């Protein structure tokens, strides 16, 4: 969300403004809700060798990664090309 100099990247500005108005307790509660949902849905993993054998929810950051349109186009074009290429290999 931030450049190296702590300046908010332009495509994050609306989200950053929204986030600034949210109290820390709100953010922590939303993180707990996401963790609970992941556990309930079975989106978990176990650490092999961990004597407790407890399943943990997949690490999830509730702060979204916002991708600029041009960067997303590059990712999308590459993914579509890979799908087409894999279909030809069969």
State pLDDT tens for residues 56-89: 888 889 999 999 999 999 999 999 999 988 887 6
42-60 residue pLDDT tens:
888 888 776 766 778 888 8
Could you tell me the two tokens for 70? 């041009």
Characterize 14-46 residue by residue with b for buried, 16 or more Cβ atoms within 10 angstroms of its Cβ, and e for exposed: eeeeeeeeeeeeeeeeeeeebbeebeeeeeeee
pLDDT at 87: 80
Where helices occur in the chain by DSSP H, the ranges are 13-20, 24-41, 69-89
């Amino acid at each position: 969300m931030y450049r190296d100099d702590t300046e908010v990247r332009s495509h994050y500005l609306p989200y950053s403004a929204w986030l600034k108005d949210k109290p820390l307790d709100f953010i922590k509660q939303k993180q707990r809700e996401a963790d609970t949902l992941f556990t309930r849905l079975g989106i978990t993993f176990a650490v092999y060798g961990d004597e407790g054998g407890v399943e943990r929810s997949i690490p999830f950051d509730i702060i979204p990664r916002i991708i600029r349109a041009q960067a997303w186009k590059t990712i999308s074009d590459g993914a579509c090309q890979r799908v087409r290429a894999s279909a030809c290999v069969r």
